[in-house]
Amino acid sequence: MKWLICIAMLVFRVDDLFAQSWPGLTGIPDTSYNTPAAYRNSKKSNPETAYVEEYHPPSIREKKGIVYCSVGERKLLLDAFYPERKSNANRIAIIIIHGGGWRSGDRSQHHPLAQQLANRGYVCFTPQYRLSTEALYPAAVHDIKTSIRWVKDHAKQYGVDTNKVVVLGFSAGGQLAALIGNTNGQPFFEGNNGTYAGSSAVQAIVDIDGTLSFIHPESGEGDDSKKISAATNWFGASRKDNPALWEQASPLSWAGPNSVPTLFINSSVARMHAGRNDYIDILRKNNIYTEVKEFENSPHHFCLFNPWFQPTIATIDAFLKKRFHP
């Protein structure tokens, strides 16, 4: 399949001019995926679902609405959450990527997660990225990689260890996290946003219910029978019309000896972790650490709500301690 990926990279540059006229590029923000909607959906199958409030202890600081790059006149923002007390050693940075089918969602949905992790000593950033109403794949990948370079460029200001950077994402954000973490040093995925010269390489991945493959038999992505699917809108082409592009964007396609330790935190919705077991097999063959935490009888949106939110925090913390402080 590697040759298909190479073809996709060449074809993408030719098709890009045509794809940018894709009807899904409405220019109008899609607000359909939000925390109240996710709560109502989860409550139907899991009555125990409970809201998680934002957390504002005096031990953490917050800076919101920071411009990390501009694309034309479009300013892309991120929010920072970090411990108030300075440390003798630089801290682990976590880039937190929101979900929403690459089309909707908002970085503020993971403020509680960032706040709780910051209270445990991590420096967390929640970047905005261009969604499929505004720009097609791989724009979102370019944006997040730019945010990583921004974090490294501002490492001294936030007390970040540039060799301890983690990319974490939920749902579509989980797919992005896994793709970004497996394409360290791949020029096609870097983009040319911003003026930061540093590397966008990361040292660990936390994938929360994000697919590992768009073309895997377990995948539920790309069903356009009733309406254009979220993935089709992101790619600007159906799986049937451009399978090489869908293969290229699948983290599983890039798993190998250069992958980084990966934590999977999953719901009981099987299609949301399509390709996970194949990915784990590849990492284990290359002696790269990987770990899975699956919550039984949990909804897809589990990480946003209790009773799963606090165990999710604890699982992330334990994994990162094992990864960076064995």
In angstroms, rounded to a whole number, what is the distance separating the alpha carbons of residues 106 and 1?
Answer: 34
Structure tokens at 269: 């919705």
**pLDDT tens, 71-83?**
999 999 999 999 9
Instruction: Read off the pLDDT band of 321 (50, 70, 90).
Output: very high
Q: Which helix (H) or strand (E) holds 151?
A: helix 139-153
Residue that is written with structure tokens 């509680």 in the block: 112
**Residue 91 CB partners (closer than 8 Å, separation 6+):** 82, 83, 121, 122, 123, 158, 159, 160, 161, 164
- Count: domains in the chain: 1
Domain of residue 113: give its range.
2-324
Instruction: Read off the pLDDT band of 326 (50, 70, 90).
Output: low
pLDDT at 17: 41
pLDDT at 107: 97
The CATH number for 263's domain is 3.40.50.1820
**pLDDT tens, 272-309?**
999 999 999 999 999 999 999 999 999 999 999 999 99
Structure tokens at 229: 């699917």
**pLDDT tens, 40-67?**
999 999 999 999 999 999 999 999 999 9
pLDDT at 212: 96
